Amino acid sequence: MERVAVWVSEYDIDYSPSILNLLDCLARHSQVDLYLSRVWARSSPVLSRPGIEVIVIREPATPRRLVRSARSALRRCLRAVVQARVADLRPANRRHLTASAAAELARRRRYSIHVCLDPHGLLLCTGLLPQARPVYYSLELYLEEDLLRSQHPEPVLRDLRAMIAQERQVADRIVGLVIQSEERASLLIADRGLRPELPVLTLPVTYQGPAVAEKSTALHAALGLDPETTRIALHLGGMNDWFSSIEIAREFASVAGWDLFFQGNHRREYLARFRRVMREEKIGGVHVSRRFYDDLTDLEPILASCQVGIAWYNDISKNLATAGRSSGKIAAYLRFGLPVLAKRYRSTAEAIEGPGCGVCVDEVREIPEAMCRLEREMEVMSRRCREEYERHYWFRAYEQQLLGFLSARSAEVTSP
């Protein structure tokens, strides 16, 4: 593959290990043109790698977009000044083009393959290049049946329905599918009417680097906790209703010797309700990070400080119910040897209980008993977590498979 186009829209790159691994891998073997539209978190060092050119597609100016762009520019300026990286203010490998100019550029360049991330990336690519035959890389499942149970406001639902309908119209252009599990592949293929013989590569959410056995007390020190008497259970991913954050905190109040730490991009309304409940019900031992870490490496001291990871997904969509090998938090927990406490689904049972890396339960009220088991088997489970990570969640195990899959699709596209 001499030159590859990657298309991302309406997704934040910096804390998506799947996107970062894809870009890092491709940049070591080919020239990558990364087309971005409405992507706000894009300051990862990976984007400045040699071999990657970033093409930011400018949106038509509106007051709301101008305000958002100004805020984003201010954040980048402050980060560059604080970190003494003035070059970050205007990276040399980035171009800002209108949609028509980006389409013209893409037509002139001879790409061996296009890789589109999720529906928004696919529609961005095929909208500018109607003849493109891309590989579809699924990060999140957008299924029509999930919309029936969705809690989104009606305007958002209309947009999602329209997006799915538009994607079905270009589904016959897809030459290959990269997705986290066979379960998710079968759901997406059926929902979009993709051809059953479509080539599929299953690639879980993965991270770079080996498993980490060393522990830290950095978080204990920051929270004023004694590491000899208090263990920490970690919940990554932010607070909201579909994680049952309030209910989980209530159950942890009865688990002696454990504190609970929430880290992520919390929904503002839910966080206010969470704090009110904790205060009114006098629930202690619960901590909420004031900082959202958008660089994955910044999370490592926190992960190394904790003993258990929580991955709770309520059954409001197939996207959440199939989260086992598509969950970035589960992969992160396993890398640092944190046994996982999760809600039971087929996907989480296979990813966690199958290899003996944690406990799955059906109801929140079962958490205290599950924590007792995790505490009893902590050492054995922690070792199994690290082993499972290196078998199934270390990206290096998939790099050649991914390159071979894309090369094969490239040969199909370019053959007479």
Q: How many domains does the chain have?
A: 2
Domain that holds residue 267: 218-392
Q: Of all helices (H) and strands (E), which one includes residue 21? A: helix 17-27
Domain membership flag for residue 228? yes
Together in a domain, 371 and 403: no
Residue 60 lies in a domain: yes
Using N-to-C axis directions, what is the helix angle for 118-128 and 154-169, rounded to 10°?
50
Residues 185, 195: Cα–Cα separation, whole Å: 12
Compute the mean pLDDT over every residue in the chain, rounded to the nearest whole number: 90
Do 89 and 231 belong together in one domain?
no
Question: What is the model's pTM?
Answer: 0.89
Instruction: Give the other-Cβ count within 10 Å of 90's Cβ.
Output: 9
CATH number, position 382:
3.40.50.2000
Residues 43 and 156 in one domain: yes
Domain shared by 270 and 126, yes or no: no
242-277 pLDDT, tens digit each: 899 999 999 999 999 999 999 988 888 999 999 999
213 located within any domain: no
Instruction: For residue 177, tell me if it sits in a domain.
Output: yes
Classify residue 210: in a domain, yes or no: no
Question: 115: which strand partners?
Answer: 6, 135
**Residue 21 placed within a domain:** yes
Looking at the structure, tell me whether residues 386 and 252 fall in a common domain. Answer: yes
Task: Identify which of 15, 191, 69, 41 has the alpha carbon closest to the alpha carbon of residue 119.
Answer: 191
Residues 6+ apart with CB under 8 A from 92: none
212 part of a folded domain: no
Do 51 and 167 belong together in one domain? yes
Tell whether 190 and 42 lie within a shared domain: yes
Q: Does one domain contain both 263 and 337?
A: yes
Q: Where are the alpha helices (DSSP H) in 143-230?
A: 144-147, 154-169, 182-192, 218-223
256 plus 184 within the same structural domain: no
Instruction: Answer yes or no: do 193 and 223 share one domain.
Output: no
Q: Name the residue among 1, 57, 55, 8 with its Cα closest to residue 27.
A: 1
Q: How is 359-389 classified by DSSP, letter by letter? A: EEESSGGGHHHHHHHHHHTHHHHHHHHHHHH
- The three-point CA angle 153-159-164 to 5° equals 125
CA atoms within 13 A on the CB side of 220: 16
Same domain, 143 and 255: no
Rounded distance, CA 200 to CA 136, Å?
Answer: 10
Q: What is the pLDDT along the chain (416 residues), one digit of tens a residue?
A: 689 999 999 998 988 999 999 999 999 999 999 999 999 878 889 999 989 999 999 987 556 555 555 555 565 555 545 544 444 444 567 899 999 999 999 999 989 999 999 999 999 999 999 999 999 999 999 998 888 777 677 888 888 889 999 999 999 999 999 999 999 999 999 999 999 999 999 999 999 999 999 999 999 999 999 999 999 999 998 888 889 999 999 999 999 999 999 998 888 899 999 999 999 999 999 999 988 776 778 899 999 999 999 999 999 899 999 999 999 999 999 999 999 999 999 999 999 999 999 999 999 999 999 999 999 999 999 999 999 999 999 999 999 999 999 999 998 876 54
**Strand 3-9 relative to strand 135-137: parallel, antiparallel, unpaired?**
unpaired
Judge if 107 and 151 occupy the same domain. Answer: yes
